[in-house]
Amino acid sequence: MATNDLLAMIGRQQDETEFYTPMPTGYRKGHHKYVVVVGTVMSGLGKGIFSSSLAKLLKDKGLTVAPIKMEGYLNIDSGTLNPYRHGEVFVLDDGMETDMDLGTYERLLDQDLGAANFTTNGQILSSVLKKEREGGYLGRDVQVIPHVVGEVKLKLRELGVKSNADVIFVEVGGTVGDYENSFYLEACRQLAYEEGENSVVFVSLTYILEPGTLGEQKSKAAQLGIKRLMEVGIQPHIVACRATHPVKEKVKEKLSMYTNVPMKRVFSMHDVDSIYVVPEMLRDAGMDREVLTLLNIHDRTDQRKEDKARDDWRGFVERINKATHDVTLAVTGKYTSLRDAYASIIKAGEHCSVHLGVNVNFRWLDTAAIDASNVDKRLSGCDGIIVPGGFGARGTEGKIECIRFARENRVPYLGLCLGFQMAVIEFARNVCGLKGASSSEFEPGCQHAVIDILPEQKKIEGLGGNMRLGGKEVDVRPGTLAAALYGNAAKIRLRFRHRYEVDPQYIDRLEARGLVFSGKHPTQPIMQIVELPTDVHPFFIGTQAHPELTSRPLNPSPFFMGLVRAAIDHSRQRLAVAAG
């Protein structure tokens, strides 16, 4: 085509319409519905808990649901964020590093998610600029409206196609009024306009203040926050009110009047003992039925599926806080002052506590303050020890001392990622006599780099200089503790996030002294599970993976179930000795 003809065609396309509605191949308008959850007043109120709980109710009814978290920061993913900023990095099965809220969705929905379920402003803008460089906008000046918000809409619709979801749950990070969220809010407003009636439900999750000096609930901040949402053209259909205590009728009436939301759609999401009771709170309030009505999809539900799912969930919830025994697990890391840095470990412990009828109490220990002189005192009274994942040298010597204590005193031990590597180093030093054994991550010139990045391993699966991320197959050695934990399965799938491996040249020497590598890569000499035989130690196991990421309420992690069972036995023995 001649240049003049191309320019003429572009000119005609620009003159034809100002609408910009990119549609992915296979998109079924009218089939895919949306629930958009937006926060006001302040962040951190539990948008993810509300959204995932409501999504669970619709999934229980037989509907296919797909969540997406939209973050306002310019990072491409959450992988480089300090835990003190956003809590733990949650890794999805396809390797996407995300916000910890994705863990809430996976746990409540019992559903593996992927990169399509998470986006950031960085991803959106990168995609727009890439298309601009490739001539994807036919010569138009690229702007926030329509092109950036159009990319957001495309992302949501692509998720609908990929997941074939009946309902897509869209969580907009932060709060209304944040500059970085303006793209997302405008995109969702346009989405509702383009999709038509009964296609998009907007939920405003707000906060009801309850100043102690006043002794009453105040709704003004909530009113102003929702008004801000309405000012950008979004009328909420449901208002969810976070509060310390149940929201009073008077407060609901004020919110209903000021927001045009019927009273039956103003929901009290007050503090409860466990987030796992929130789905039933929503069900009792009729929020699931209201959403079905607003989206006009009652005919897609299956009552039999809902009855079974509800019974299964109720059986789990009714066992919460019914424990008859206590165990104490020490979590020995370097972010222990921030519980969100280990959120999935806490949740995995909760899952096991319900299934095993025991209170799992965590003792948080900063290993930077632990050494050989005080490790016995710091770990005294613990029934199990966890060394979690992490990066960098700070606190590693303290971790090694904790592992030595666990090994020598037969205290149940679970090493996660770095905890796996530290267990190998501890054994190399103190059992194999390899003085100076360490990792090249924090001691590049050490005498025995039993943990290292190997050139041949860097080529595997296209690793290059990047981390090994996401779900990977693991071959399990028969007759080992790892095999017993997984019902004698020969192959399991675990989720990884690491760079360093056990150097294969040390494997024979380590195993000759009694260390067992019970799980490894199916085709390469990459060790992924390590343990001590059960006749040597009651429970001593580590994995290069992060099994806490895949623990679910109705299906707890086998690694954690094994640890808590062993901790129960240890606790009873400890109490028996103390008694007598």
Q: Phi and psi dihedrals of 505, rounded to 5?
A: -70, -15
Which positions are catalytic? 417, 546, 548
Pairing of strands 540-543, 527-531: antiparallel
**What pairing do the DSSP bridges indicate for beta strands 491-498 and 437-439?**
unpaired
Alpha carbon distance 465, 454 (integer Å) = 11
Strand order in 501-502's β-sheet?
437-439, 448-452, 501-502
Angle at alpha carbon of residue 169, lines to 84 and 120, rounded to 5°? 45
Burial category of 512 from C-beta neighbours within 10 Å (exposed 0-12, middle 13-18, buried 19 and up): exposed
Nearest to 249 by CA among 219, 212, 207, 220: 219
3-state secondary structure 487-513: CCCCEEEEEEEECCEECHHHHHHHHHC
Q: What is the torsion angle, in degrees rounded to the nearest 10, for the CA atoms of residue 103, residue 82, residue 495 and residue 480?
A: -110
550 burial via Cβ count (<10 Å: 0-12, 13-18, 19+): buried
Which residues in 53-93 belong to E strands, given as ranges? 65-71, 90-91
The angle, 0 to 180 degrees and rounded to 10, between the axes of the packed helices 149-163 and 121-133 is 100
User: Do 67 and 52 contact (CB within 8 A), yes or no?
Assistant: yes
Q: Nearest Cα to 399, choosing from 358, 351, 451?
A: 451
143: CB partners within 8 A, 6+ apart: none
